[in-house]
Structure formats: C-alpha cells, structure tokens
Structure 1
Amino acid sequence: MKLLEPGTVIDGFEVGDCLHAGGMAHIYQVAYAGAAQRGPFPMVMKVPRMTEGDGAENIVGFEVERQILSVLTGPHVPRLVAAGDLTQLPYLVMEQVSGRTLQQWLDDNRAPLPAEEIARLGAAVAQAAHSLHLQDVCHLDLKPANVLIRPDGLAVLLDFGLSCHAHYPDLLAEELRPAVGSPTWMAPEQVVGMRGDPRSDIFAIGVMLYELATRELPFGNPQTSGGLRQRLWMDPVPPRKWRPELPEWLQEVILRCLEPEAARRYASAAHLAFDLSHPQQVQVTDRGRRIRATGFWAHLKRWVRAAGMHYQPSALPSRQIDEVPIIMVAVPNRDVSDATLYSLRGAVSRALGTVPGARLACVSVIDPSETPGHDSASSETTVHRRYLGMLRQWAEPLDLSGQTVSFHILENGDVAQALLRYAQGNQVSMIVMGAATHGLQMQRLLATVPIRVAMAAPCTVVLVKQALPFDQLAATDRGYAQDHLADRPARVSKVMI
C-alpha cells in the first residue's frame, strides 16, 4: 500500500503528514475534516501495511489491536477514536500522546543511565503493565519503541497488535505460528507458544532495564528458533560485569525479571514497581552480588531440565494479581494501646494466611516536626531509625518466614493523606488499620483518619477494632484456669507463664 497523500479525507478525517513508516503500519497525523469540528486532543491514524510482501500478522494484528483498544481504559493507553472497515480501508484513529519513547531515550543518551533514572523509568513501565493486567490484558510485545514516557513521567504503552485479552479469542494463537513477538524481548514461555501470562511482560521489562543499565542486550538479537530457545535455560551476563558501579539491588531486580521460569520472576508487575520505587527495601541475594556469568555445567543441567519442561496455561491475569496482593498495614506510633497493636497483628496474620503470596508493607506516619535538621542533635536519620526499629519490633511476633516484608516511615502532618498517597503510588490491594488510630483521645470527637482513608482509598480497607485489654484477658484466663484446671496445677502454671 502506498503512502496516503496529505489532505486525503477518510471517513471525516483529514490526513496530514506521515509520522512513521514501520514494518507493520504507517502512522499519520490526522484531524477532523473542515473547521467546524475540532478534536478534544491531537490524533493520529494507524494504517496497517497490506502489500503482497507483508505477512498475515499485519491484518490479524490490526483486528487484535482494534478489539483490545476498544475496551482498555486508563491513563496508560491511548484513547481510541474510530476504526475503519477491513473490507475498505483498515485504520485506527487514536489519541496522539506527547512524550518520548524509551527507544528515543536510548538513542539520545549514549551513556548508560544512572541507577535512579533507570529505576524511575522501570517503575513507570511496570505500573503501566500492571494496569493492563488488572484488565486481563497481556501486552506481549513490550519493547523500547512501544513504551512512551509522558512529560509528567507516566508511561503509556503502544501497539497492541500482538497482545492477548483473556476474555476474547486469541486470534494470533489460532491463525499464526507458535512463537509470536519481537525476538529480543520475547519471554521463554512465548518461545514455545504459551501466551497470556502477565509475567511474560515482566520478562520484557527486565530486558529493557538490562539495556538501559548496560547498553547491551541480555540475549542478543536472535534470528533463528535455536537462538530463541537458548533463553529457556541460559542466564545473561550479570549487568555488574559490564558496569561494576551498578548497585547490587538493581542487578537483583533485573535478573529476577529475566528468570527463565516464570514462577521465579516477580509475582506481579506491581511487586516489580514496588522494588524499583523502594530500592533500599530490596532483599539482595547472590543473584544481585555475582559478577561472573553462569558456567557451562550449570547451563547444561538447565538445558536438560528445560527439554522436559511442560508449560501450563495461565489463569486470568487479574486472578493471578489477586493471589499476590500488596497488603499495607498502618501502624500508629503514639497514643495507642497495646490492645490495638495486638489486634492489628492478628488481622495482618489472618490476611497473610489467606494469601500466602502477598507482600506486606508496614507503614507508620510521623509529623515533620519530629525530624529536625541534620545539624541538630537528633537528626532526621536518627529519628527514622528509631521509628523503623519500633515497626520491626511490632512485626516480630508475626510469622513472616517466606514472606516479603518491608518497613516505611512517612513524614506528613496529614496522616490520612500520607496513607492514601502511599497506597495509590504503590498499587496496594488492601489497607489494614485500626478503627480508631493515630490519636485515640481525639478520635472520640474527630474520627478523621480511618473515615477519610476508608472513603477515599483505591482499594479494600480493613478497619480493626481493638481486642479486650490484656488485663481483662488475663483475668478471664485466670478464672477459667481456677474453675476447670484446679486438679492440674503444674499445667496451669505453664499456661499462665
């Protein structure tokens, strides 16, 4: 198909300049024809290539993108305006989002980016992917050219021609070859034809993080099926071998995204965004410390294991996210009873017991007036360490073996606002807090914190009423022991202790 001439009118849209001529489609600037109607935002028209040499995936991809864009919502995808008829001229008119793609970031910055900048960009992409997964969509073609960073730092994902929606037929899997995607960024399970796992997008984000950090590609740019299959068992060279100054936490995050087995990657894109937003909370293992590539014999063992591996279809992306939520507990740090702290622990323990894959974030809010300047005898660092110690002490009775847990001190004079911002910014699925916390005396008159959080939170809120005071519990236990265990004094003394 030849390029459309500027000034051509199609279904009420006037075509402007060609902005991009890619291998699968052409992108044009468009506007409503005539001056009578002006669009609410700038628009582009995407027209798939349909010449004899173009593959069938161009048309199938067009159908997939039209189907998926029509149901996606949120700030991380362009808004769909109109779609053309496949029998006449297939096209998609959508919002033109301002910003730069990650590919432009790579092209404009020849030197590797600082770790903080890589983490900021990666967290934005992970949050965008999480938004898709909540809507039961896997992108499956994430790469620098398909990720646009807006001026405000938000990531917008482009090009859904290879994507998969769990509630619609997967046309690509039905009509085309088993492995569909861009070879450089394709996850191992995609190589063997398995589509629809949200952790495939996490793998692609890991490839982008690796390139941003090292300017190298973890698996090169394979052009054969044999080259593609190597990622089923091979580890990439550790990023710190290319850049020794990279922090261990960043390598830990990148290599965890690139694990050959999906179960060993981050459980959700929200968990990945959490670690990139809180690098000081990343638990560094040998994965983050090593600087040598995996040896031949280790790769040989993995090759043997990969040869007999069977990939299972994934559950709905949103269901997988429900199984690995981020749970936030708001722990008060002043004017709080032991009964309230005890009750909060019980509620958190029950929540973690029902969702073993959950991540726990323990949060406490302090007033900025409690952290004087660094030249003061009580520095900000000292104050934060003291409150972090209190948080860890509160969490000690919890059984957190095998659980991912982190501790956070927030500074804000408005406790409710601080908790809401944290929950929204970190994709929290559940907030656990006291029904009357952060000032028990004042809560009798102004129950502002629990009510404001419960009304405005973007997720489930569990308000916990405090249990009976410990002295009443002890009295009850003593009465029970005297009435029913008088004939076994030795055992009674053990219970009381």
Structure 2
Amino acid sequence: MVKPIIAPGLVIDGFTIEERLHRGGMATLWRVSRADARMPMLMKVPKYGEGDDPAAIVSFEMEQMILPRLSGLHVPAFVSAGDMSVQPYIVMEHIAGKTLLARLAELPLPYAEAATIGQGIAAALDDLHRQHVIHHDIKPSNIMFRQSGEAVLLDYGLARHDQLPDLLQEEFRLPFGTAPYMAPERLLRSRSDPRSDLFSLGVLLYFFTTGVRPYGESETLRGMRRRLWRDPVPPRRLRADYPPWLQEIVLRCLEIEPAWRHPTAAQLAFDLGHPDQVKLTARSDRLKQDPLSTVWRRRFNRDLTRPTAVSSVAGQLASAPIVAVAVDVTEGSASVNDELRAMAGRILTTLPSARLACINVLKLGRITLDTTLDELGHNKHIDRLAALRHWAEPLKLAESRLTVHVLEAIDPASAILEFARSNHVSHILMGARQNSLLRSLLGSVSAKVAAEAPSSVTIVRPST
C-alpha cells in the first residue's frame, strides 16, 4: 500500500491535518483537529523514507508503546496512534507555549529562577519515574511549562519503560541521545538507571546558570567518553558569585558514578526547593577540577566506570523515599515522640538512602495577632527548629539525610498535607493525641492527614 503524502487538508483516521509545526531529524509535527476534540492536538509522524535513519522508526515504536501508559500533568495527554503497517502516527495534546530552548538567548539565568525551573523538572521526573519510565533525553527542547506552572516532558522516543521491551537496546550497539546531556553510564550501554535523568538535569542547570555546557559541544563518541573519567570545571570558577548550595547540587548531579548523585528525582527537587537546608560538602567551594592522578585512576580502573545494575525503576525509588515525621515539641508529648523516633529509626535502618524531614506546625490564631517571641523573649520559630534537631539526635543520621522545618499555619493538618504534596513525601509519620473534648468536636489532625494524604501514613500511639 502506498502511504499518503502528509499535507494540510488531508484527513487521517478522522484527524484533519492543518499546519506543519516542526520538522526534525526523526519526525515531523503537525497541528491537527477533529470534530469531537476537547483540546488542541498535534500529530507526530516519523521519518521512514529512503535514506532515513532506521533508528527513527524504532524510537517511534517505543514512543507508541510508552506514551499511552503515561498520565498526569507532566506529560502530554495521549489521544490516538496509527497502525505501523498503514500510517504510523501519534496524536497527543498540543501544549501552548515554547520549550526551554527559547530561553537560551537569555543565559545565564538568575540563580533563583534556574533553581525553580530545575525543581519543576525534577518533580516531573519523579512523576515519570514512578510510572516506570526513564526519559533519557532531558534537554531544553524537550521541556515545556504549562500555564499552571507544571513542567511537561516531551518526546519519549529514547525512553526506557522497565516493564516493556527496550527495542533500542536490543537492536542497536551505539547509544542514542543528545551528546552534551548524555550520562556517562549511557556510553556503557546502561539504560536501566533513573539517575541518568538526574545527570542530564545537572547539565541543564549548569548550562542555564553559567551560559556554557559542562562538557562542551562534542558529538563524537570519543569526545563523549571523556566524561567517564573527567569532571567539569566547577561553576564557581566561571562565576565568582555562584551560590555554594547550588554548586553542591549541580556537581552532585554531574557525578560520574550514579551512586554519588541524588538517589531520586524527589530528593533533588527537595534540595532545589530548600536551599537553606542543603548540606554543603567539599563540592560546594571547589574551584578546580579533580587532579590528574584521580583522572588517570578513573580512566584505567575499569571497575570505577562499570555501571551498577539497577533491578527496576520502582526498586530504586522505594530504596530512597522522603519520610516526613510530624513532631509535637510541646509539653506532654514525650511518650508519643519516643514512639515516633523508634518507628522512624526502624524505617531508616532498612532504607539507608532514605531522607527524614522533621516538621512541626507553629499554629497561628484565626483572629488573634500572633507574636514571634514567647513569654521569655525567645524566638518561637528558632526554638522549635532546635527542638526538632534535638529530637532527631538519637537517630544519629548523616547531615545529608536530615532536614528540619517549622511550618506556620492556622490549620496544622492542611500545612502537613501541603508539605507532603509539594515535597514528594512517600511516607508520613505522626502521633495520635489522646481523647479530648476538643478532638471529638473538631476532629483530629492525624485523622485528616490519614484521609487526604497523597502518600502512606503511619499513626503512632504511645505505649501503655
């Protein structure tokens, strides 16, 4: 069967071709319409003519398999797909606006703005990884932001779904991707680690905050392989005012070994959203690249550049959750706090990559004028931060695994829920208050959190 020439006015399976929006190396994008459509749509058609790259049709086949399985605001909504033997295509939601590629003329961006962009992308990656997918092509042209603020990840032709066959891995020997953003382990044919996406996001953050790419523009395989043993120039050497907390995050993303990066996209998003809580290491004030002795050791010790096997995306996420524990620091809460600490300790012992966020709600009055000082003249907020750290001391956690947060709110339950949603918390621990008249009339904080939380909730009662 002769395939039709795609042109404006052509109708394919009820979709009317309207306007060509983009012509790329592997596919063409068209604006399309249909009488019953409730949203703007575009059609993606692969290039599969004489002389075209055979990888184009394989990557399109991967996208046809993956996109219908995805949902949520961080991906374009799937509408329909065409039969590969007749006319291959994918129809999806057309998102208004431009990709981050349009921002390149403005680089370098202000640090706070770049961190906010990075936090949004990390949140989108966390959502994608929870759906068993590694994107493998994070770059400015594949990222948009909805008018409501959510980052949207585009183009799943190079993606890996860990519950589907990986056709690119099975059929091709060379790695596919965009050279400046490709993680080192990808060069060793490893496509199973979600932390590869965190490396690519680190490249983007470096580029957006310095104006230069950390590994240059090399497209040759030989040039790309240098990142297996050579670290980038620290951003603070390029910009003297570069914030230490941001360099800590960016260089951690760009670590050669995936195990040295953030364990999950959720933990990366957490750091970008809480710069004051970032634990600084030697990375933060580095001005020079690693010495040549370290570089040569990496280059000739193959054990240092051999990728570690990752059983599954879900397994990697489950091993490194963000656990939030709501601690009451007022008098009379010691017994339940002891039980909370014991429960947190058991969870953290079994999950050495987990992060603990200790939170306390400083309740504000609905109509009263609140003061920042107590009757002794102490700052309430600072005192509670200190109390949270004191509560966590017996757990003996590394600084990188612990953060403390005092939330000021009228409604404690709503504050805890909002913290959990915005910080991608996987598990909430909190204590249950004893019976009281107020509790029976208004309902308990723990009951509301348990009913509405986006994650697992464990309610702890004091032992009797």
1:365 maps to 361
Q: Deviation of residue 177 (structure 1)?
A: 2.5
Q: Deviation of residue 295 (structure 1)?
A: 2.8
Q: Which amino acid aligns with 1:5?
A: A
- Alpha-carbon distance in structure 1 between the residues aligned to 2:120 and 2:305: 33
Q: Deviation of residue 371 (structure 1)?
A: 8.8
Q: Deviation of residue 445 (structure 1)?
A: 4.4
1:82 maps to 80
- Alpha-carbon distance in structure 2 between the residues aligned to 1:67 and 1:147: 21
Selected match of 2:44 from 37, 43, 46: 46
Residue 354 in 1 paired to residue 354 in 2?
no
Q: Which amino acid aligns with 1:84?
A: G
1:315 maps to 311
Equivalences for 1:25-424 in 2 at 5 Å?
Answer: 25-32=27-34, 37-107=35-105, 109=106, 111-306=107-302, 309-334=305-330, 336-368=332-364, 382-401=379-398, 404-424=401-421
Q: Which amino acid aligns with 2:285?
A: R
Please say if residues 320 and 355 of structure 2, whose CA atoms lie closer than 8 Å, have aligned partners that are also in contact.
yes
Please say if residues 362 and 381 of structure 2, whose CA atoms lie closer than 8 Å, have aligned partners that are also in contact.
no
1:374-420 CA distance string (max 9 Å, x none):
8x899x99332121111111112222147610000111110000000
- Alpha-carbon distance in structure 2 between the residues aligned to 1:334 and 1:313: 46
The number of residues matched between the two structures is: 460
1:486 maps to none
Please say if residues 64 and 81 of structure 2, whose CA atoms lie closer than 8 Å, have aligned partners that are also in contact.
yes
Secondary structure class of the residue paired with 1:151 = coil
- Alpha-carbon distance in structure 2 between the residues aligned to 1:215 and 1:403: 29
Secondary structure class of the residue paired with 1:64 = helix
- Alpha-carbon distance in structure 2 between the residues aligned to 1:312 and 1:84: 38
- Alpha-carbon distance in structure 1 between the residues aligned to 2:219 and 2:209: 24
Please say if residues 298 and 304 of structure 2, whose CA atoms lie closer than 8 Å, have aligned partners that are also in contact.
no
Residue 9 in 1 paired to residue 7 in 2?
no
Please say if residues 358 and 403 of structure 1, whose CA atoms lie closer than 8 Å, have aligned partners that are also in contact.
no
Q: Sort the Cα spacing of 1:432 and 1:12 in 2 relative to 1 into closer, same or farther, 3 A.
A: same
Please say if residues 140 and 162 of structure 1, whose CA atoms lie closer than 8 Å, have aligned partners that are also in contact.
yes
1:163-204 CA distance string (max 9 Å, x none):
111111100011122312111111111011111210000100
- Alpha-carbon distance in structure 2 between the residues aligned to 1:294 and 1:21: 42
Q: Which amino acid aligns with 1:8?
A: L
Please say if residues 50 and 58 of structure 1, whose CA atoms lie closer than 8 Å, have aligned partners that are also in contact.
yes
Q: Sort the Cα spacing of 1:312 and 1:401 in 2 relative to 1 into closer, same or farther, 3 A.
A: closer
Please say if residues 188 and 306 of structure 2, whose CA atoms lie closer than 8 Å, have aligned partners that are also in contact.
no
Q: Which amino acid aligns with 2:23?
A: A
Q: Which amino acid aligns with 2:362?
A: I
Please say if residues 100 and 148 of structure 1, whose CA atoms lie closer than 8 Å, have aligned partners that are also in contact.
yes
Q: Deviation of residue 279 (structure 1)?
A: 0.6
Secondary structure class of the residue paired with 1:148 = strand
Q: Deviation of residue 2 (structure 1)?
A: 10
Q: Deviation of residue 441 (structure 1)?
A: 6.5
Secondary structure class of the residue paired with 2:403 = strand
Secondary structure class of the residue paired with 1:396 = helix
- Alpha-carbon distance in structure 1 between the residues aligned to 2:252 and 2:308: 20
- Alpha-carbon distance in structure 1 between the residues aligned to 2:175 and 2:142: 19
Give 1 or 2 for the bigger CA radius of gyration. 1
1:491 maps to none
- Alpha-carbon distance in structure 2 between the residues aligned to 1:371 and 1:197: 51
- Alpha-carbon distance in structure 2 between the residues aligned to 1:30 and 1:60: 24
Q: TM-score w.r.t. structure 2 length?
A: 0.94
Mean Cα displacement is larger for which, 47-56 or 13-22?
A: 47-56
Secondary structure class of the residue paired with 1:362 = strand
Q: Sort the Cα spacing of 1:114 and 1:390 in 2 relative to 1 into closer, same or farther, 3 A.
A: same
- Alpha-carbon distance in structure 1 between the residues aligned to 2:17 and 2:256: 45
Q: Sort the Cα spacing of 1:381 and 1:137 in 2 relative to 1 into closer, same or farther, 3 A.
A: farther
Could you list the runs of 5+ residues in structure 1 that have no partner in the other structure?
469-497
Secondary structure class of the residue paired with 2:395 = coil
- Alpha-carbon distance in structure 1 between the residues aligned to 2:352 and 2:234: 30
- Alpha-carbon distance in structure 1 between the residues aligned to 2:244 and 2:436: 43
Secondary structure class of the residue paired with 2:118 = helix
Q: Which amino acid aligns with 2:174?
A: P
Q: Deviation of residue 257 (structure 1)?
A: 0.4
Secondary structure class of the residue paired with 2:222 = helix
- Alpha-carbon distance in structure 1 between the residues aligned to 2:309 and 2:303: 18
- Alpha-carbon distance in structure 2 between the residues aligned to 1:414 and 1:440: 18
Q: Deviation of residue 75 (structure 1)?
A: 1.1
Q: Which amino acid aligns with 2:96?
A: S
1:484 maps to none
Please say if residues 142 and 204 of structure 1, whose CA atoms lie closer than 8 Å, have aligned partners that are also in contact.
yes
Q: Deviation of residue 372 (structure 1)?
A: 5.2
Q: Deviation of residue 440 (structure 1)?
A: 6.4
Q: Sort the Cα spacing of 1:200 and 1:122 in 2 relative to 1 into closer, same or farther, 3 A.
A: same
- Alpha-carbon distance in structure 1 between the residues aligned to 2:281 and 2:298: 20
Could you list the runs of 5+ residues in structure 2 that have no partner in the other structure?
none
Selected match of 2:24 from 22, 25, 46: 22
- Alpha-carbon distance in structure 2 between the residues aligned to 1:415 and 1:408: 13
Q: Which amino acid aligns with 1:404?
A: R
Please say if residues 15 and 30 of structure 1, whose CA atoms lie closer than 8 Å, have aligned partners that are also in contact.
yes
Q: Deviation of residue 338 (structure 1)?
A: 1.5
Q: Which amino acid aligns with 1:358?
A: A
Q: Please, what is the CA RMSD of the aligned residues? A: 2.3
- Alpha-carbon distance in structure 2 between the residues aligned to 1:84 and 1:283: 50
2:429 maps to 432
